[in-house]
Every structure is written in structure tokens, then in C-alpha cells.
Amino acid sequence: MKRDKIIFYVATGLLTLLMFFSAGMYFFNHAEVAKMFTAFGYPTYIIYPYAVAKLLGLVALWFFRGKFINEWAYAGFFFAFILAFFAHFMIGDGEQTGAVIAMVLLIVSYIYSKKI
């Protein structure tokens, strides 16, 4: 049981750091992120709402464990990471590693959230 908790908290903590870094980039380095979103073919007006959604998803992961909204947060992150992976893969910029790492952390966090 203690091992499961440690794995959950480490995976979720690393995922949280990754999402804070990502949201911070969206807020504080908007010009660079806007260029990236334009290269993907995405509209740039979704950058700030997407950053807020990431932060709200983290709140749901940490404070609503075992509840309905927590499941939706995991699902939202799952689809976000899948779409991020394929967006980077399709334009061929070689930056899909972050999405793969985030997906692994998300899956580990989800599995171990069910065990504790």
C-alpha cells in the first residue's frame, strides 16, 4: 500500500510539474506558443483557455480523487496528450517526446489512483 501511494504521488507530481511548465509557457511566452499553434493549424485564441483548462484539470486530479470530475480530468488529459503527440508527429518537428512522457505519467497516475 505504501509503495502504491509513493508511485501515485511521484507520477502525479511529475505530471503536475509538466503541466505547470506547459501552462506557464502558454501564459508567459505567448508569442512562441502562438507560432507553434499556427504551425499546427490551430487558432491562437485557444491558448489561454487551454492553459486554464490544464490548471483546472490539475485541481481535479489532486482535490477530487475518486469522484466523477476526477475521471473527466484524466480523460481530458488523455485526449490532450494523444492530440499533442499526433500534432507534433504530423508536422515533423520531433517534439512529441513530451506528450509521450506526459501520457506515461498520466497512465501510471490513473492506475495507482485506483489502488490507493
pLDDT of 28-42, one tens digit each?
Answer: 999 999 999 999 999
Q: What is the rounded average pLDDT for all residues in the chain? A: 95
What's the pLDDT at 65?
A: 83
Cβ neighbours of 39 (radius 10 Å): 12
For the segment 65-92, the average pLDDT, to the nearest whole number, is 94
Which bin fits 91, alpha (ψ -120 to 50), beta or left (φ > 0)? alpha
Give 52's pLDDT tier (boundaries 50, 70, 90): very high
pLDDT computed for residue 116 by the predictor: 86
Q: CA angle 33-27-29, nearest 5°?
A: 45
Q: pLDDT band at residue 25, thresholds of 50, 70 and 90?
A: very high
The pLDDT of residue 66 is above 90 = no
**Whether pTM exceeds 0.85:** yes
